[in-house]
Chain A
Amino acid sequence: MKVNLENVYVAYSGSKKPAIRGVSLSLDKGIHVITGPNGAGKTTLLETVIGLLKPYKGNAYLFGVNTKSRKIFKIRRKCSYVPQDFMKPPSEAYTGLDVIKLGLVFNQEYNSITKLAEELDAVELLEKPFGKLSGGQQQKIMILRALARNPELLLMDEPFSSLDRKTKRRLYNIIKKFNNKLVIVVCHEYSVMEKISDSIITMEEGKIIDIS
Chain B
Amino acid sequence: MIFLESIVSAVLSSALIASVGYYAEKFKITTLSFCVAHAALAGAAIGLVFRVDPTYSGMILAVSSAIALGIILPRIYLKDVLILSLFSFFSAVALVAIYFSNTTVLATTTLSMVLWGSILAVDIRKLIMILAILVTFAIYLRTFKSQIDSIIFDKELAEAEGIDVYFHTLALLAFMGLAIALALRITGGFLIFALLYIPVSASLLIAETARNQLIVAITFGCISAVVGFVVSYTLDLPIGSSITVVAAAILLISAAFSKKRFAVYE
- Taking beta carbons and an 8 Å cutoff, which residues of A are in contact with B? 13-14, 50, 52, 73-81, 83, 86, 88-89, 91-94, 99, 102-103, 105-106, 149
CB-based contact A93/B156 at 8 Å:
no
CB-based contact B210/A93 at 8 Å:
yes
What 1/0 flags go to B154-174 for Cβ under 8 Å of A?
Answer: 101111111111100000000
CB-based contact A99/B153 at 8 Å:
yes
Number of interface residues of B (CB under 8 A): 27
Return chain B residues, CB-CB under 8 Å to A105. Answer: 146-147, 150, 161, 163
CB-based contact B160/A52 at 8 Å:
yes
Interface check B264, CB cutoff 8 A = yes
- Taking beta carbons and an 8 Å cutoff, which residues of B are in contact with A? 77-78, 146-147, 149-150, 153-154, 156-166, 208-210, 260, 263-266
CB-based contact A81/B208 at 8 Å:
no
- Once A and B bind, how many residue pairs between them come within 8 Å at the CB atom? 63
Return chain B residues, CB-CB under 8 Å to A79. Answer: 160-162
Contact A77 B162, CB 8 Å, known A83-B156, A102-B149, A105-B150: yes
Return chain A residues, CB-CB under 8 Å to B164. Answer: 73
Grouping DSSP codes into helix (H, G, I), strand (E, B) and loop, the A interface class, with mixed when no group exceeds half, is loop
Contact A93 B150, CB 8 Å, known A75-B162, A105-B163: no
Known: A76-B160, A89-B265. 8 other contacts (CB 8 A): A73-B162, A73-B163, A78-B162, A89-B264, A92-B153, A94-B153, A105-B146, A105-B150
A-B CB contact pairs (8 Å), 28 listed: A13-B77, A14-B78, A50-B160, A52-B156, A73-B162, A73-B163, A73-B164, A76-B159, A76-B162, A77-B161, A78-B162, A81-B157, A81-B161, A83-B160, A88-B153, A89-B264, A91-B208, A91-B265, A93-B208, A93-B210, A94-B153, A102-B149, A102-B158, A103-B157, A105-B146, A105-B161, A105-B163, A106-B162
